């Protein structure tokens, strides 16, 4: 078989049988992490347009060669540099949870931590297993993620602490970045208003605005779903997860890095 550049080679060297659910969720999380990276690194502006596809499954333990494809173009995505950057980024976060400093000052998002936790689940459960994720091609053989079962368990323990510490119980936070997903077009009510603060949770959370002025600041924007809002927020949690964001003040408006041109985020429509 002829090796080709620009693909992602994933190898799970297992000693014990792998539960199908764990393997499926591991690959799903890897694909989602790649989609997020492509957008955050500026290689693609439309979330979910470029995805990983299975090019080949090989004999051995579990060996998969994955390639990226662009939905809109229905073609191979020329991405050896993107794949290499993704592997480097994933390894940086892995090493962060093993106690090494990140190359950037920005900590990983909760979403990425959850994805990494799921990616390494199969190797964490198998005491003799090893997981290798690398760029396929001679030039980038140094771009790889390698983790054994002992380190995978250590990483999962650190991720657990990281996630439990990232959402304070019923706390008031300053300077959080809010993305809107749904919002009513009036200041009198909050019915249906929902948004995401990625640092706390990747999920949509209901919003309540503490004042007409705070909501009016959002409604005054010509394209509120193409913007991000820096807010002071009162976070209410249930079982350690955000259940309500009470917006106390909107202090700044910045462009959304994942939205370009006339494209609006999915679900981003005002409610009547």
The pLDDT confidence band at residue 272, using thresholds 50, 70 and 90, is very low
pLDDT given at position 188: 57
As a whole-number percent, the residues of the chain with pLDDT over 90 amount to 37
pTM of the entire predicted model: 0.60
pLDDT given at position 131: 93
Task: Please say if the pLDDT value at position 166 is more than 90.
Answer: no
CA nearest 91: which of 19, 182, 8? 8
pLDDT given at position 266: 47
Q: Where are the domains of the chain?
A: 7-166, 172-271
pLDDT in tens, 138-161: 554 467 899 999 999 999 999 988
The pLDDT confidence band at residue 263, using thresholds 50, 70 and 90, is very low
> What is the full DSSP assignment across 114-147?
HHHHHHTHHHHT-TT-EEEEEEESGGGTT-EEEE
The whole-chain average pLDDT of the chain stands at 81
Q: How many residues does the chain have?
A: 272
* Inter-residue contact 185 to 270 (CB < 8 Å): yes
pLDDT given at position 5: 53
Rounded CA gap, 67 and 5, in Å?
10
First to last CA, the chain: 58
Rounded CA gap, 226 and 224, in Å?
5
Greater confidence (131 vs 199) lies with 131
Rounded CA gap, 256 and 238, in Å?
28
Q: Provide the H-helix boundaries in the chain.
A: 20-40, 80-97, 110-119, 121-124, 149-166, 212-219
pLDDT given at position 94: 94
Rounded CA gap, 5 and 1, in Å?
13
Cα distances from 153 to residues 13, 91, 117, 159, 242, in angstroms, run: 16, 16, 9, 10, 26
Q: Rounded to 5 degrees, what angle do the CA atoms 35, 36, 41 make?
A: 105
């Amino acid at each position: 078989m002829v090796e080709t550049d620009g693909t992602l080679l994933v190898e799970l060297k297992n000693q014990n049988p792998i539960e199908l659910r764990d393997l499926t969720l591991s690959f799903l999380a890897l694909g989602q992490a790649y989609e997020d990276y492509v957008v955050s690194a500026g290689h693609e502006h439309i979330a979910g347009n470029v995805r990983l596809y299975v090019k080949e499954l090989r004999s051995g333990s579990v060996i998969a060669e994955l390639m990226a494809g662009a939905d809109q173009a229905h073609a191979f995505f020329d991405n050896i540099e993107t794949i290499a950057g993704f592997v480097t980024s994933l390894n940086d976060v892995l090493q962060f949870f093993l106690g090494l400093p990140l190359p950037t000052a920005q900590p990983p998002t909760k979403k990425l931590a959850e994805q990494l936790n799921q990616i390494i689940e199969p190797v964490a459960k198998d005491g003799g297993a090893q997981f290798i994720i690398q760029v396929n091609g001679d030039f980038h053989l140094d771009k790889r993620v390698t983790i054994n079962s002992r380190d995978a368990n250590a990483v999962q323990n650190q991720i657990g602490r990281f996630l439990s510490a990232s959402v304070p119980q019923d706390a008031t936070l300053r300077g959080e970045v809010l993305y809107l997903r749904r919002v009513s077009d009036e200041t009198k009510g909050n019915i249906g208003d929902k948004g995401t603060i990625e640092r706390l949770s990747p999920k949509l959370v209901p919003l309540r605005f503490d004042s007409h002025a705070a909501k009016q600041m959002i409604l005054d924007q010509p394209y509120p779903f193409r913007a991000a809002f820096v807010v002071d927020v009162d976070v209410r949690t249930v079982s350690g997860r955000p259940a309500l964001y009470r917006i106390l003040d909107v202090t700044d408006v910045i462009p959304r890095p994942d939205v370009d041109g006339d494209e609006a985020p999915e679900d981003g429509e005002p409610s009547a």
